[in-house]
Chains A and B, each alone.
Chain A
Amino acid sequence: MHEYSLVSALVDRVEREARARNAVAVHKLSVRIGALSGVEPQLFASAFTLCQQGLLEKATLDIRRAEAAWACPDCGTAITDGQALRCAACGVPAKLVSGDEILLEQIEMEVP
């Protein structure tokens, strides 16, 4: 269950940002989690509730899921996740275009 350590890193980052702006509370966090990131959104969300205190006590967590997308690096043809990861036309290995991200995108906070 590495989601707890990810949430700790998230909380540190958000608290730093909130303090830098003298926020009185954080209302909402938006994160993006890729399907191939190795993070389970539900576990992430429940780990978040365990870490909520202080400025983040009432914050809501918005998790946006990013699907895995592969493409040929040469011709750009999309390669379906779950198929052989090689371009049938060019014969080169597919490149992951998105789906491995674990990003903090946006923080909504209340300032004085």
Chain B
Amino acid sequence: MCETCGCGDPNLVSVEVHDKILAANDRTAAHNREHLEEGGVFAVNLMGSPGAGKTAVLEATARAVRGRIGVIAGDLETERDADRLRAVGVPAAAITTGSACHLDAEMVHHALHDFPWQKLEYLFVENVGNLVCPAVYDLGQAVNVVALSVTEGEDKPLKYPVMFRKADLVLLTKVDLLPHLDFDVAAVEAALGRVMPRPEVIRLSARTGEGVPAWLEWLKARRRAVPQAAAGGHGRAHDHAHHPPVAR
């Protein structure tokens, strides 16, 4: 109670904070990024709707660069995506999120502890299929890539601007289906120009392999742009305390 004048009003203080609500996630993401860059591992956060073809893109990628990539796959339930990738020879771990609609930096950090990521050139984090929530959480990736399939409609970038604004690259997937659809590629590219400051699009078909070389070139060029990754890391051991998983 106010003791200055005895009025009986509660003693209120106003504290200015101006702090990011996701500051804790951002700190863990920075920690992940530091380890990955030191290890010379180029991390890709692959996002997109359920069924956009994220796993198929990774299978096609694995066939082209066998032995140098690893995948951490997030899904609400099942290890099916990780199983598909292991079947094509890719080390893969699953993060089953239960009901969480996205991966966060802590989940990725925890998954990395049980995963031989140090020897990789590329680590793909296949996020939960969702065009909204994953865009909000930094995981420690070097780049964000969004898979958008030609069966989803040209207006998706305008409907989900938050996701596409964060994208460094959009993979327009399932382009082998274009002859059967009324999908206007120019319209989707124009829409991307209104939500992405630096729109980059690669047309890709995991089925025919179209666009896979361009995608691999893009990855190589981006990886070269990260100084530590290009030089190759020294694979320093992970020397800090291991946090138990946090219940969500």
Contacts and interface: CB of A to CB of B under 8 A. Distances in A.
B12 A82 contact: no
Contacts of B22: 6, 9, 102
A84 interface: yes
A2 B136 contact: yes
Interface string A1-32: 11001100110110001000101010100010
B194 A17 contact: no
Interface in B157-184: 161-163, 165
B101 interface: yes
B15 A17 contact: yes
- Give the secondary structure class of B's interface: mixed
Nearest to B196: A85
Interface residues of B, number: 37
Contact of A103 (B12, B13, B20, B25): B20
Given A86-B193, A86-B197, A104 B19 contact: yes
Nearest to A85: B197
A27 to B, nearest CB: 6
A109 B18 CA distance: 16
B154 interface: no
B225 interface: no
Contacts of B135: 38
B142 interface: no
Contacts of A2: 100-102, 132-133, 136-137
A94 B136 CA distance: 20
B81 interface: no
A66 interface: no
A41 interface: no
B24 A9 contact: yes
Interface string B180-221: 000000000010011111100000000000000000000000
Contacts of B10: 25, 27, 110
B197 A5 contact: no
A46 interface: no
Contacts of B195: 85
A77 to B, nearest CB: 14
Interface in A38-62: 38-39
A107 B14 contact: yes
A79 to B, nearest CB: 9
A51 to B, nearest CB: 13
A52 to B, nearest CB: 16
A110 B195 CA distance: 43
Nearest to A31: B21
B161 A36 contact: yes
Interface in B51-95: none
B193 A85 contact: yes
Given A2-B133, A108-B13, A102 B20 contact: yes
Interface of A: 1-2, 5-6, 9-10, 12-13, 17, 21, 23, 25, 27, 31, 36-39, 70, 82-86, 93-96, 100-112
25 contacts: A2-B100, A2-B136, A5-B100, A6-B136, A13-B19, A17-B17, A23-B13, A27-B12, A36-B161, A37-B136, A37-B162, A38-B133, A38-B135, A38-B162, A70-B197, A83-B194, A84-B194, A85-B197, A102-B20, A102-B21, A103-B18, A103-B19, A103-B20, A106-B15, A110-B12
